[in-house]
Amino acid sequence: MAKYVAAIDQGTTSSRCMIFNHAGEPVSSSQMEHEQIYPKPGWVEHDPIEIWSRTKDVIHDAMEKAGLIASDIAAIGVTNQRETTVVWDKNTGQPYYNAIVWQDTRTDKICDELMGDEGQDRLREQTGLPLATYFSGPKIKWILDNVEGVREAAMRGDAIFGNMDTWVIWKLTGGINGGAHVTDVTNASRTMLMNLEGTQWNDDICELMDVPRKMLPTIRPSSDPEVYGYTANNGPFGGKIPVCGDLGDQQAATVGQTCFSVGEAKNTYGTGCFMLLNTGTEIVQSKNGLLTTPCYKFGNEPTVYALEGSIAIAGAVVQWLRDQMRLINTAADVENLARMVEDNGGMYFVPAFSGLFAPYWKSDARGAIVGMTRYLTRGHFARAALEAVAYQTREVLDAMEADSGVKLQALKVDGGMVANELLMQYQADVLGVPVTRPKVAESTALGAAYAAGLAVGFWKNTNEMRQNWGIDKTWEPNDDETPRVDNYKMWKKAVTRTFDWVE
Ligand SMILES: Nc1ncnc2c1ncn2[C@@H]1O[C@H](COP(=O)(O)OP(=O)(O)O)[C@@H](O)[C@H]1O
Ligand SMILES: O=P(O)(O)OC[C@H](O)CO
C-alpha cells in the first residue's frame, strides 16, 4: 500500500518536489531555482526546457532522499505559477518561444486595444478579471502575432498552449508519446478565456483575442478521480503513478491551509503575494479591485470560488535587493539589515515593477522610492522594502472586507517570506489582527498533494485534512497605532506618486 503522495510545485522562482505522509507532514523535499530572463524593461521570461529539467532533478532528489520508489507514491499533484504562458509543438515537444511570465507587461498595447471604449472591466462579468497584462490570453495572442509560423501551426493543430501546470503534466504523462493536454478550472480561469459560470472555454472571448480554440487544453476538475494520466516507467518517478491533482499555486495554498469554509482566508508571500477568501459556490463580483476566481473543484462537486487580492511584487523586491542592487547576499539577510534601523526613516518604497495589481490595476504605474533624505542608510532600504509588502497586504484586506462583508479575525500566512519574523510582526501591526503561520508553511505543495490524494481516496474528505492543520507561531498586533494609521496614510500617498508613469 502506497503511504505517500507527491507534489510538484512549479513556482516563479523555483521548482520543488515534496512528498507528504497521511498526516500531511513533509517526509522529503527538494528545490531548485531557475533563471529569470529580462530581455527588455517590463519583460520577464522563463525557459520551459530548463524548468522541465529542474523539475526532473527535484523529483529524483526528493525520491532518493526519502529512499522511495514509484510504488510508494499513491498519487501526484501539480501546482504552479499561474498565467505564465508556454506554446509548444506537440510533435517535437519544443517550445516556440520562452514562457512569458505572469509579471511581464509586454501585452499592455494588446490589452488597451481589447478594452476599446468599454474599458478595463469589459470581460469582468464572464471571467471575474479586469483586462490586464497579468493574464494568459493576451500573452498567447502576443506569441501568435509575433513569433513566425506559430499562428499557422496553431491553425493546423500542432502548436498547443499551456500554463506551467499543463506543460509539466504533459511532460510527466508522456509528452510527445501521448501526454495529457489538460488543465484545471483554477488555472484555466486565469487565461481570461474561461467562463466563471460553467467553467468552460468562452468561444466569443477566444475569437476576440484571436486564439484558436484547438490549441487550448481540456478543462478538468482540480482533484480528478478519472485521473489526467499516468507517469511513464521511463519518467523521473521511474514507474506508473496517477497524476490526478492540479491547482494554481494560490488556490493550492488555500487548500493546504484548509480554508474550506466560506469566510476563511490565507495570504501567501512568495515572489508576489496573494490573499484568497473562500466565498463558497457563490460567484461574488468585486467592486473594490479584487479578482473573482475558482478556488477548487473536487471531482463532481460544484466549483468553490474565491475573491483574490493579487500583489505582483513581494519576495521579488528582496530578490531585486539581492541580485540587482547587491545589498544582501541571501534573501534571509534582508531581515538583519532591516533590523539595523528603528523604523523606515520616512522612506516609502512602492515596488510597482510590473505596474500595480490589486486593488489598482494600473499597468502604466512604475516603482518609486519617496521621502528620501541624506539621513537614510542601506537598512532603511531593506526596511522600506519589507514594509511595502505589509502595506500592500493591508490594501488588499481592506478591499476584501469591503467586498465580502467578512471581518477577518486572524490571517493565515504561508510562503517563502513568512520565515521573516520582522515582516510577520509588522504585518500584524499594520493589519491590527493576529497573523498565524501553520506548522507546514509549504501550504502550496501540501494543497496539491491533498487534491491528488483526495482523488485516489488517500484522504477521504476535507475533514481529514483539517485535522492535519496546526499552528507554528502567531504574531499579535502591537498596541502602537502608528503603523496602522500614520505610516499607512503615508504609504497611500506614496502609491499615488507611481501612477501614469509609462507614456
Ligand atoms: N527570510 C526571508 N525574508 C524575506 N524574503 C524571503 C525570505 N526567504 C525567502 N524570501 C523570498 O521569498 C520568495 C520565495 O518564496 P517562494 O514561496 O518559494 O516563492 P515562489 O513560489 O514565488 O517561487 C523569494 O522571492 C525570496 O526573495
Ligand atoms: O510563484 P508565486 O508563488 O509567486 O505565485 C505566482 C502566482 O501564481 C501568479 O499569479
Strand partners, 37: 45
pLDDT less than 50: residues of the chain: none
Predicted confidence (pLDDT) per residue in 344-373, tens digit: 999 999 999 988 999 999 988 999 999 999
Distance 140 CA to ligand 1 centre (A): 28
Distance 2 CA to ligand 2 centre (A): 31
336 assigned to a ligand binding site? no
415 assigned to a ligand binding site? no
173 assigned to a ligand binding site? no
Distance 319 CA to ligand 1 centre (A): 8
Distance 414 CA to ligand 1 centre (A): 10
- For residues 412 and 266, is the Cβ–Cβ distance under 8 A? yes
User: What's the residue count for the chain?
Assistant: 503
Ligand number nearest to the C-alpha of 308: 2
Position 263 scores a pLDDT of 86
271 C-beta closer than 6 A to ligand 1: yes
Strand partners, 16: 9, 31
Cell of 269: 508571500
Give the position, in ligand 1's atom list, of the atom nearest the Cα of 416. 15
Position 472 scores a pLDDT of 95
Tell me the CA distances in angstroms from 362 to 70, 120, 358, 382, 501, one per residue in order: 47, 10, 9, 25, 10
Cα angle 201, 206, 209 (rounded to 5 degrees) comes to 145
Q: Which residues contact 119 (CB under 8 A, 6 or more apart)?
A: none
Tell me the CA distances in angstroms from 239 to 68, 172, 224, 273, 458, one per residue in order: 11, 11, 20, 36, 19
- For residues 233 and 439, is the Cβ–Cβ distance under 8 A? no
82 C-beta closer than 6 A to ligand 2: yes
Q: Alpha helices, DSSP H only, in 405-435?
A: 421-431
* Spatial distance between the Cα atoms of 201 and 204, rounded to a whole number of angstroms: 9
Distance 155 CA to ligand 2 centre (A): 30
12 C-beta closer than 6 A to ligand 1: yes
Question: Does ipTM surpass 0.95 in this model?
Answer: yes
80 C-beta closer than 6 A to ligand 1: no
Establish how many alpha carbons lie within 13 A of residue 368's alpha carbon, considering only the half-sphere containing its beta carbon. 19
Ligand number nearest to the C-alpha of 312: 2
271 C-beta closer than 6 A to ligand 2: yes
416 assigned to a ligand binding site? yes
134 assigned to a ligand binding site? yes
Residue with cell 502595506: 391
221 C-beta closer than 6 A to ligand 2: no
In angstroms, how far is CA 325 from the centroid of its own chain? Answer: 25
Distance 151 CA to ligand 1 centre (A): 37
354 C-beta closer than 6 A to ligand 2: no
Predicted confidence (pLDDT) per residue in 61-77, tens digit: 999 999 999 999 999 99
Position 325 scores a pLDDT of 94
Ligand number nearest to the C-alpha of 16: 1
* Spatial distance between the Cα atoms of 128 and 383, rounded to a whole number of angstroms: 35
The H or E element containing residue 99 is strand 99-100
Distance 159 CA to ligand 2 centre (A): 25
Position 152 scores a pLDDT of 96
248 C-beta closer than 6 A to ligand 1: no
The H or E element containing residue 29 is strand 26-33
Ligand number nearest to the C-alpha of 85: 2
Phi, psi of 331 (to 5 degrees): -60, -40
80 C-beta closer than 6 A to ligand 2: no
Query: In the 3-class helix/strand/coil scheme, how is 439-483 assigned residue by residue?
Result: CCCCHHHHHHHHHHHHHCCCCCCHHHHHHHCCEEEEECCCCCCCH
16 assigned to a ligand binding site? yes
Position 407 scores a pLDDT of 87
Phi-psi region of 327 (alpha: psi -120 to 50; beta: other; left: phi over 0): alpha
Query: In the 3-class helix/strand/coil scheme, how is 210-266 assigned residue by residue?
Result: CCCHHHCCEEECCECCCCCEECCCCCCCCCCCEEEEEEEHHHHHHHHCCCCCCCCEE
* Spatial distance between the Cα atoms of 502 and 418, rounded to a whole number of angstroms: 33
Phi-psi region of 456 (alpha: psi -120 to 50; beta: other; left: phi over 0): alpha
Distance 84 CA to ligand 2 centre (A): 9
Position 408 scores a pLDDT of 85
| pTM confidence score | 0.93
Distance 462 CA to ligand 1 centre (A): 28
* Spatial distance between the Cα atoms of 209 and 211, rounded to a whole number of angstroms: 6
Cis preceding-peptide flag for 359 (omega within 30 of 0): yes
Ligand number nearest to the C-alpha of 357: 2
The DSSP 8-state label assigned to residue 358 in this structure reads T
- For residues 161 and 216, is the Cβ–Cβ distance under 8 A? yes
Establish how many alpha carbons lie within 13 A of residue 252's alpha carbon, considering only the half-sphere containing its beta carbon. 34
* Nearest protein Cα to ligand 1, atom 1: 332
